[in-house]
Structure 1
Amino acid sequence: MPPVDSASFPLSLPSVNTIRSLASRLRDGVLLYRADGTQVFVNPAATSLCAECYPADLDHGLSMDKLLPRDALKLARETGHWSGYLSFQESRLLAAQAYYTAEDGGCYLIILQDLRLIRAYDQDLVRRHAELNVRLTAAQENLLQSEKLASIGQLAAGVAHEINNPIGYVHSNLSSLQEYLRSLFALIDGYERALRSPDPKAELPEIDQMRQRLDIDFISQDLPQLLSESREGIERVTQIVRDLKDFSRSDRDESWKMVDLHANLDSTLNIIWNELKYKVTLEKHYGTLPLVECLPSELNQVFMNILLNAGHAVGERGTILLSSGVEGDQAWIEFADNGSGIPPETLQRIFDPFFTTKPVGKGTGLGLSISYGIVAKHQGRIEVDSKVGEGTRFRIVLPIRQPKHATPH
């Protein structure tokens, strides 16, 4: 930077008193000496440092020769600058710099820095950085949980429908079971009356008529099927509630686990199936997968985001193919649809936060961005291939065991 010509400078330069006032506020020690060693200026920070580090030399004034090493002033005079460290008792260390100019008969500027203050500043930075990391982690977890709940909110009607269907036919079956029990108890009463009569055989024709009237043969055939359907319905509701609970729980309470990814994928399908079943033909080509170390609830979020996107991509009717396999020490799950595909210019942005091609109010633009972050946390990757008019393929690749050096949670 060229020197400033004070004559052409549009504003007046600071006065000497202003410079002295500013220097007095510095945390670093500032000392100014003439070439003959006369002290011209010392700021309060330098006075304090010298009092702590050179107490025996202050009675007669602190000269440059006592302040700096013997060759420091020579090097500063020859090169214009010297820097080094000054050590004292109790591991006290100062960083020192000396500057020399030949103008006005020669002048030395010495700057002293207390490394304890620098360490304290660094420690404060580390502490603040740690606090910011904690806040960022909490914000990411809250964002993930909010996105989960928003997704479930969008699917709430479908989940309710999936629960209402089995509940509906269980309720209907219970009404039929009530009628069947009345008929069976009536028949039992008939047999008891026959057994108490003087001539039980005489009552048999009436009991046979009762069996026909109550259609006991149909009841005996329908009752086991009715109970079986009711049990399946209750199990279906139980499974949906369990899957919903697992899907929605806070990830702060979730630890890394060895998980069957196929079971997790099927659990997610169970929640969102009402969104897909009327327009999607689902094909599963599962390979043999070992248990994979992961955060299952977070991977459920990834599976749901990709499956719902595939469902939107196929439009009114289409196919989603689920595949899986192992390559070396990695497991992969693939989602392929025959939908509209993604244009190249859009494909480059699909993992950007808040980017969405859906109409306003139909998507947050966070689904794939969050999915990308979750897979990265698992030390994995997401591969995407797409052709307009032919469909899209997402492949999630995860290490079977998390690297020991990784600390993704």
Structure 2
Amino acid sequence: MPAAFPNPTPSLPSPALLQALLAPVREGLLLFTDDDSVILANPAVEALLATGPASGAGPAQRLRALLPPDAMAVARREGQWSGSLVMGEAVVTAQLYHHRDQGAGYYLGLFRRVEGQEDYERELQQRHAELRQAYLRLNGAQEKLLQSEKMASIGQLAAGVAHEINNPIGYVHSNLGSLQEYLRSLFTVIEAYERALRAPDPKTLIPEIDDIRDRLDIDFISRDLPQLMAESREGIERVTRIVRDLKDFSYSGRDESWKLVDLHSGLESTINIIWNELKYKVELHREFGQLPLVECLPSELNQVYMNLLLNAGHAIAERGVITVRTGVEGEHVWVEFQDSGGGISPELRQRIFDPFFTTKPVGSGTGLGLSISYSIINKHNGRIDLDSTPGVGSTFRIVLPIKQPR
């Protein structure tokens, strides 16, 4: 049996050997640590980095000056980053890899100069495709976030909407009970008249008919019946209006197109939906001006109105006033929501439009309402202005173009 010979362990190549092997490589290679200590750099990367900023610094520092601010953080978090860099007059594709070993971090950078018009165009097309995919993902996430916040808001208002619907349904149900009694009384009188018509001498039954009319209070029924029917019709119309407003408000807007609409109609439907949240502590004033039809996405603007009205209501501790104003300034219209609440301190005003920032207790606010409202108004090429005085109240003004720029 032949003797077993162990495989010899190969020794690691020396840095000088690695430098010699990498010298003819046209792609740049840079290996360095988290503290910018360079382990390996071939001549190609030295030549590329020599044309960049901070030319007096080491290769790792010069590379940091060329990379986007988040490139190294992405490489640490995800293990790699890729992109394009401008080094002097050259466009360079860059891949940056990160690895941790025994508590130390190492970066490996690979760089290839884009040469020739075809390579340059191919690189541009690839980056354009990547940017488009990122945009589509971001846009999809924004739509989902918008719809999620809208439905969460409707969920919070569901009890109030149910209460608003129950009130008219309650008195319509009661009126139907009264109507049933009225019809029974009227049919009794009709039957008495029919018996009188069939009698040989109808006049003899007139006292009986009069007695029935008095006992059933037919005169009152004749006066109350039209009022009862009008009240029931009003209740049904109120329920129909609430359901229609809720349906319009909850529409996702994915296929909604830009259209010319009356902003006052959207304001009224939004107030109608959320009124149960406000009516117990808020006195609402309307100071509407004459507005032209405005080109917008009405369902998204309705959500902005709801967010601002609910925030105004939450800013009022016990009793207060909310004033909704509208007006026109040149080629723009404005909608203003003023409350008599506690106001917003100067240090908080800089953060109120930040996503997930909220001053409400934990569990009672998502911190997305104003952020989404800001995005919607920005999408409409408008702006939101804030004027607030602590202890006096706040005023949010939405400014929108009448016609969207083409």
TM-score class, shorter-chain normalisation, is 0.7 to 0.9
2: CA distance between counterparts of 1:84 and 1:194? 112
Residue in 2 aligned with 1:285? 287
Shift of 1:113: 2.4
Distance 1:317 1:131, change over 3 A: same
Q: Does 1:12 align with 2:12?
A: no
- Residue of structure 1 equivalent to 2:45: none
**1:113, 1:232 → 2: CA distance?**
76
Distance 1:341 1:14, change over 3 A: farther
What displacement does 1:116 show?
1.8
Query: Residues 153 and 84 from structure 1, CA distance in 2 versus in 1: closer, same or farther, beyond 3 angstroms?
Result: closer
1:401 is matched with which residue: 376, 400, 403?
A: 403
The letter for the 1-side match of 2:289 is G
Corresponding residue of 1:381:
383
Aligned mate of 2:296, from 284, 294, 300: 294
Q: Which amino acid aligns with 1:235?
A: E
Distance 1:192 1:312, change over 3 A: same
Counterpart of 1:308?
310
1:299: Cα distance to partner?
A: 0.3
Distance (whole Å) between structure 2 residues aligned to residue 173 and residue 385 of structure 1: 49
1:343 aligns with 2:338: no
Q: 1:234 aligns with which of 236, 243, 256?
A: 236
Aligned to 2:157: 155
For residues 89 and 335 of structure 2, the distance between their equivalents in structure 1, rounded to whole angstroms, comes to: 59
Q: Percent identity?
A: 65
Q: Distance in 2 between matches of 1:229 and 1:165?
A: 12
- Specify the SS of the correspondent of 1:15: helix
Deviations 1:128-177 (A, max 9, x none): 21122112111111100000000011111001101111111111111111
- The amino acid that maps onto 1:211 is R
Give the letter aligned to residue 135 of structure 2: N
- Within 5 Å, give how 1:7-406 maps onto structure 2: 12-15=15-18, 18-19=21-22, 23=25, 113-404=115-406
**Matched residue of 1:156: which SS?**
helix
TM norm structure 2: 0.74
Query: Distance between the aligned counterparts of 2:333 and 2:350, measured in 1?
Result: 25
| Secondary structure at the counterpart of residue 113 of structure 1 | coil
State the alpha-carbon separation in 2 of the partners of residues 148 and 294 from structure 1. Answer: 18
Change (3 A) 1:319 1:205: same
Describe the shift of the 1:84–1:390 C-alpha distance in structure 2 as closer, same or farther (beyond 3 A): closer
Post-superposition shift, 1:127? Answer: 1.3
Structure 1 runs (4+) greater than 6 angstroms displaced: none
Consecutive unaligned residues of structure 1, counting only runs of 5 or more, are 1-10, 27-82, 86-94, 96-110, 405-409
TM-score (normalizing by structure 1): 0.74
Residue 335 of structure 1 deviates from its aligned partner by 0.6
**C-alpha separation in 2, matches of 1:372 and 1:288:** 25
What does residue 84 of structure 2 align with? none
In structure 1, what is the Cα distance between the partners aligned to 2:244 and 2:89? 67
What is the one-letter code of the residue matched to 2:387? D
- CA separation of 1:202/1:253 partners in 2, compared to 1, >3 Å: closer, same or farther? same
Cα distance in 1, alignment partners of residues 17 and 266 from structure 2: 71
Shift of 1:112: 8.3
Instruction: Label 1:287 to 1:123 Cα distance change in 2 as closer, same or farther (>3 A).
Output: same
AA in 2 matched with 1:337: D
Inter-partner Cα distance in structure 2 for 1:138 and 1:248 = 18
Equivalents in 1 of 2:342, 2:158: separation in Å? 26
C-alpha separation in 1, matches of 2:168 and 2:388: 38
Contact 2:114 2:120 in 1 (8 A): no
* Structure-2 separation of matches of 1:369 and 1:146: 13
**Residues 1:219 and 1:125: Cα distance change in structure 2 (over 3 Å):** same
Cα separation, partners in 2 of 1:151 and 1:13, compared to 1, 3 Å: farther
CA distance in 2, matches of 1:319, 1:240: 23
> How far apart, CA to CA, are the structure 2 residues paired with 1:360 and 1:401?
40
The structural deviation recorded for 1:14 is 4.6
Spell out, residue by residue over 1:229-271, the C-alpha distance to the aligned partner (whole angstroms, 9 max, x if none). Answer: 1111111111111111111111111111111111100000000
Give the C-alpha shift of residue 192 in structure 1: 0.7
Give the secondary-structure state (helix, strand or coil) at the position aligned to 2:200.
coil
CA distances 1:61-120 after superposition (whole Å, capped 9, x unpaired) = xxxxxxxxxxxxxxxxxxxxxx999xxxxxxxxx9xxxxxxxxxxxxxxx8824323322
Larger Rg: 1
Give the partner amino acid of 1:18.
L
Tell me the secondary structure at the aligned position of residue 363 of structure 1. Answer: coil
Q: Give the whole-Å Cα distance in 2 for the aligned partners of 1:365 and 1:211.
A: 65
Deviations 1:361-408 (A, max 9, x none): 10000000100111111111111000011010111110111111xxxx
Q: Distance in 2 between matches of 1:237 and 1:200?
A: 48
The size of the alignment, in residue pairs, is 315
